[in-house]
Amino acid sequence: MVAFCPYCSNILFVEQNISGQIQFTCNLCPVFFPVKKSISTRTYCKLKDIDDVLGGEEAWKNVDSTEERCPKCSHERAYFLQLQTRSADEPMTTFYRCCNTDCGHNWRD
């Protein structure tokens, strides 16, 4: 709730007076309005869903595999996918996924 001073039309600020009560006070005029009713509500916004940068599971369907050792399970082969994640004069980023179905570890080079 935004309240304005009825005399100078400036915004009223919420302050606590000497006795501990909360009141609306004008900084220019010598007026105050005690708050008699306490109202509190909280509204939580829904967070935005995070998109998978690589395109999700669909991006890994038709990729090739290469001889690359998995850092987690030491399997000899890994699927790879290359994307341009930085500016055009920078090299492409290579993403790997372990071919071992029990592992499935993802890493990048």
Q: Which amino acid is at 59?
A: A
**Cα 27–32–35 angle (5° rounding)?**
125
Q: Are 72 and 104 in contact (CB under 8 A)?
A: no
Q: Are 24 and 35 in contact (CB under 8 A)?
A: yes
Which residues participate in the annotated binding site for Zn(2+)? 5, 8, 26, 29, 70, 73, 98, 103
- In three-state secondary structure terms, 60 is helix
Which residues participate in the annotated binding site? 5, 8, 26, 29, 70, 73, 98, 103
Cα-flanking dihedrals φ and ψ of residue 57, to 5°? -70, -25
